[in-house]
Each structure stands twice: as structure tokens, then as C-alpha cells.
Amino acid sequence: MKIVIGKGSCGIAAGANIIQSAFVENLSLKGLDIPIDTTGCIGACYLEPIVDVFDDKGQKVTFVNVTTDNVKDIVEQHILEKQALKELQMTEADMTMIGKQTRIVLKNSGIIDPERIDDYLAVDGYVAAKKCLTELTPEEIIETVKIAGLRGRGGAGFPTWFKWNAAFRSPGTVKYMVCNADEGDPGAFMDRSVLESDPHALIEGMLIAAKAIGANEGVVYVRAEYPLAIIRLQLAIDQAREHGYLGENIFDTGFDFDLRIKAGAGAFVCGEETALIASLEGERGMPRLKPPFPAQKGYWNKPTNINNVETFANVPWIFRNGGEAYAAIGTRDSKGTKVFALTGKIAHGGLVEIPMGLKLRDVIFEIGGGIKNNKEFKAVQMGGPSGGCVPASLLDTEIDYAGITKTGAIMGSGGMVVMDETTCMVDMARFFLDFTCKESCGKCTYCRVGTKRMLEILTRITKGEGASGDIDLLEELCNKIKEGAMCGLGQTAPNPILTTIKYFRNEYEDHINNKKCTAKSCKALLTYTISEENCVGCGVCKKKCPAKAIEGKKKKVHEINQALCIKCGKCFANCKFDAVCVD
């Protein structure tokens, strides 16, 4: 018998450590000696903390949203008295979320203990690496990845074999293998989850890639905001070294490869290859013009290959099961699976891995359980600050690189932020421009000044100061910046604006012409009034109003002085009688 607690960052944030202490305490109270193991994230973040209890036959029962009170029940009623405790278990709807997925990258996440290499070895870990190092030539490795049709999962979707081949063909004896784990896209966290839940899959993928291009040194560039990922990856690297999977003469083949971690220092632009290399070299993370590409001149001007975490994590599976097996999953244009981070106004938020070609509708409504609180779906934002908002009319779009690009969004790293009727699309565009404006490195004028100007216009519109002609001006700026900016950050920064104008032009027009925000999200455009019918004159709003804008005698209908109102919404939030109306 054993107890397994999911301890990814999400699980810990939801209280997994407190639950673990509660188990230790309750078990010792009952004099039970049952081991408590750690695992990573199963992806069903909305169910955290998650606890698996395995009986002596290895049968698993999963308890979800576990509280410290539940722990006592689980120990006393489930473990001791063998009661099922169905009400605390995962429901069928929850099973759907996990069951409808195809798991390659997340295969071991939430199942094995990421801190124990033996757990990884028990699920055929390092078998693929051994095969590649002992049996295959670099050409054969690259050919297999080509057959698999794997494309970069970091954003642009460039064919992985092509990059490997270019680095392999580049002359030179010193080459580098770099993993981009600088997952900066707000709303995406699959790379963090892989690092925390299955770090050896990344190491094995990098080892295979290193053999393919002939690199003896590797670096994983991890965001500093991911402390747990750094700890677990370092532990995994140390263990792999002890077992001889990293270091000198791996599998007695004479091939050397070692790996180290470099913690990023917080700069979104470092997701761009050449900026990442500059940062690795200790410089300001500013991109440079390509060519030369990193495959020719990368880290310290040597041939360098860069892929992201999810891309590498696909590689061991491909070599265990064959390139053809991988290519059998997905669509003609996009092979294999993709991990998405489902967040926002979604009922079942978390990480999901689906075969390419599934419809957006299936992911959001079947796997994701639809919209929270019975609200109406408005749009799904894909691709983060470089992506766009896909409206309800395009929910039947098939998820693959070409399909998503056609909508104006991009696949990106896999963020899917779901929005409902209360999300204002102009504000959403403003939010992303605020982000890209802050993160622009400042090297090229189009991006540095352009994002700033676009942000100013959007801010004006959300403040009710929009002027006619603003939409045209925005579109003109967008198109110029797309053409003129030097790197991907600037070139894609207009996407959130272009897609929201394309699909939600009416919201822009409402803001500009009618000074109205239909989502009731842009504060400056709201008017608060008190309904004569509902107001009982309790005076709470008057007391809470920081602007002293509310007048009224006790037990008489109160009134808001619009000239003084600062639209903070405190009266609305504090009225117990639904008497404050917002329009």
C-alpha cells in the first residue's frame, strides 16, 4: 500500500504540502506505516490537491480537492475501514478530461516520482537514448525525426529535423545543444510541468539530439520564476550523471555529453533564439539579425541547436515507437500531439495533451468542460502576446499549425486562455500590448516606438477617449510593425490587435462611438446608478464610497453624484440588495 501526492507547483500552491503533513500526522496517530510518495502534475489543476491511494494489489483510487479534514476520513474510513468514499473521488466528468487525451509528452507526468531516476528507468527510460547512441548514425537519427514530422513546439513550428540537420552539417568540432525553457508566454506552463514532473524525458531528448548534431555540451535555459523546476531538473541531471547517462563515454560508445542549467533573469524576448544566446553569454538579451542562424553561428559563435522543452520531450517516444508511429497521429500538416494550457474562464483548467487535428470545440467543451459559471463563450486566446483571439464562429477549426494560423492566431507554445462575455476584447488587446511594450528590448524602432504608440491608442479607447479613425490608424500601425520589426516579438506584437479588430470590430466601435463597454469591464465607460426599487437606504454604499459621491438619508433611497463618482465599483461590490446597477 502507498499514498502518492501530486506536487507540481500548482499542487503545492493548492496545499499539497499541508495535505502531506496531515497524512503523516493521521497515519502516525493510527499507528500506520504507509509510505508517502511524490509525483508531478497530472494536468487536472482544478482538482488539486490530488492524492492517489494504492491498495496492496496496486489498485489506485484518486481523491481530489483534498482538504485536511478529508485526510482524516481517507485514513480512517478508506484505508482502515475499506470504504470507497466516492464523494471525495474523481468523478466521471473528471475522467473525461484525462481520458480523451493522447499522452506522449505528459505520459509520465503525475504518475512517476520526478525525483527518482529508477521510476523513469522503470518506464523504459533511456532505452531510446541507448538505441540512438549504440545503433544509429546521426543521419539515421535525423531521418527518423524527419519521418515523425516533429515540428518545434515553442511557437514557430519549424521542422525539428531541419534544424538538427543544419547544425549537424555545420563544420566544426565544438557544437552546443540548448534547451529553451524560458517559457515566457503568460498563460502557458507546459514546459514548467514537464521539468517538474518528468525531467529525465527532457535530458534523454537532449542527449539524442546532441548525438545527432555532434554536441558534447548542453545548456538548459530555465526561467528564474520556476524555482521548483530548477531544483528537480538539477537533481535529475545529477542522477543521470551518476548512472552514466551524462558525462564521458556514455553507453561505452565514446560519446561525451554533459548538461548544465542556466537560470534566466526575466526577459520575455529571451525566448527568441539569438536573444537567448546573448543572454547565455552574459549579455543583455537582445536579438540580432538572422542569418547567420544559430545552426551556423550560435553560442560563442559555434553551431548551436535550440529547441524548447516540449519538443525534446517528444523525442524519446519517437525512438521507442518509431517515426511512423508518431506520424500516424495528427494531421497531414502537423504530426503528433500538442500540449495546451487551458485557463481563463474554463470549468476544468489545466494541462491537456491532444492529438493534432482535434477541433477547438472538443478541447474547450468536452475536455475542458465548457465555460465556468454558465456564462457564454466569447473567444479563446491562443499563442499569447504573439497570438490572437479566436471567436465562437471558428470553434470548429481543426487544431494544427496551418489551421490556427488561418484564424490569425498562432499555435504558439500552447496557451489557451478562454474568455466569456465579461471579457472586453479591446481591453484584452491593451493587456497584450502593455506586455509587449514592456518586454520590447528596444533595439529596433518599429517595436520600441510602435508598441508604445499602439498601447497609447488602445489605452485611450478603453478610457472612453477614442476618436474616429483610431481603428484605421491601429491597422496601419499594425501592418507597418509586422513588416518592419526585427525579431519575432515585434513582428507578432500586432496580432492580438488585428484579430480582435477582425472578429470584434463592433466592440471597438462601441467604445469609440458610443463610449460603451458591453463586457462591463472598462471602468471609465461604466455608469453606476442606484435603483429606487431595491435601495433600502442602509447606507453601506455611502460609507464605502472613497469619493464621497453618494448622498442619501438613512432608510431613504440613496443617489450617486456622477460628477464625483470615480467608478471604483465599491458600492456595487458591497450592496447586499442588488440596488447598485452598472451600465
Partner 1 sequence: MSHETHEHGCGCGCHGENMNPYEDLVPILEHYAGVPGSLITVLQKAQEIYGFLSTDLMRYIAIETDISIAKVYGVATFYTQFRFEPIGKYLVMLCQGTACHVNGSERVEEVVMETLNIQEGETTKDGLFTLNNVACLGCCSLSPVMMVNDTTYGQLTPDKVKNILAEIKEKNLSQEATT
Interacting residue ranges for partner 1, rule: CB under 8 A: 9-10, 12-14, 45-46, 48, 183-189, 192, 223-227, 262-268, 279-286, 300, 341-345, 349-350, 381, 384, 415, 417, 419, 423, 428, 431-432, 435, 439, 441, 573
Query: Toward partner 1, which CB reaches closer, 125 or 218?
Result: 218
The residue assigned the cell 540512438 is 132
Does residue 311 contact residue 317 with C-beta atoms inside 8 Å?
A: no
The least distance separating partner 1 from the CB of residue 309, rounded to whole angstroms, comes to 12
What values do phi and psi take at 247, rounded to 5?
Answer: 115, -145
The least distance separating partner 1 from the CB of residue 72, rounded to whole angstroms, comes to 23
Q: How far apart are CA 136 and CA 205, in angstroms?
A: 15
Does residue 495 contact residue 399 with C-beta atoms inside 8 Å?
A: no
Query: Toward partner 1, which CB reaches closer, 274 or 423?
Result: 423
The three cell numbers of residue 60 are 489506485
Phi-psi region of 103 (alpha: psi -120 to 50; beta: other; left: phi over 0): beta
The least distance separating partner 1 from the CB of residue 327, rounded to whole angstroms, comes to 31
Query: Toward partner 1, which CB reaches closer, 23 or 46?
Result: 46
Asked if the bond preceding 291 is cis, omega within 30° of 0, the reply is yes
Query: Toward partner 1, which CB reaches closer, 9 or 274?
Result: 9
CA 545 to chain centre: 39
Query: Toward partner 1, which CB reaches closer, 10 or 575?
Result: 10
527 closest CA partner among 537, 536, 517: 517
Query: Toward partner 1, which CB reaches closer, 45 or 455?
Result: 45
The least distance separating partner 1 from the CB of residue 37, rounded to whole angstroms, comes to 22
The least distance separating partner 1 from the CB of residue 384, rounded to whole angstroms, comes to 7
The least distance separating partner 1 from the CB of residue 555, rounded to whole angstroms, comes to 28
The least distance separating partner 1 from the CB of residue 270, rounded to whole angstroms, comes to 9
Strand partners, 559: 551
- 214-246: b or e for each residue (b if 16 or more CB lie within 10 Å)? bbebbbbbbbeebebbbebbbebbebbeeeebb
Query: Toward partner 1, which CB reaches closer, 231 or 325?
Result: 231
The least distance separating partner 1 from the CB of residue 224, rounded to whole angstroms, comes to 5
Q: How far apart are CA 253 and CA 217, in angstroms?
A: 16
Query: Toward partner 1, which CB reaches closer, 246 or 352?
Result: 352
Query: Toward partner 1, which CB reaches closer, 72 or 288?
Result: 288
Query: Toward partner 1, which CB reaches closer, 265 or 402?
Result: 265
The least distance separating partner 1 from the CB of residue 229, rounded to whole angstroms, comes to 9
Q: How far apart are CA 199 and CA 183, in angstroms?
A: 15
The least distance separating partner 1 from the CB of residue 168, rounded to whole angstroms, comes to 24
Q: In angstroms, what CA-CA distances link 478 with 26, 47, 79, 408, 497?
A: 60, 41, 61, 13, 8
Does residue 511 contact residue 463 with C-beta atoms inside 8 Å?
A: no
Reported in sequence order, the residue ranges of 92-166 that DSSP labels E, i.e. its strands, are none
The residue assigned the cell 545552426 is 295
Side-chain-side CA neighbours of residue 281 (13 Å): 17
Name the strand (E) or helix (H) holding 22. Answer: helix 16-29
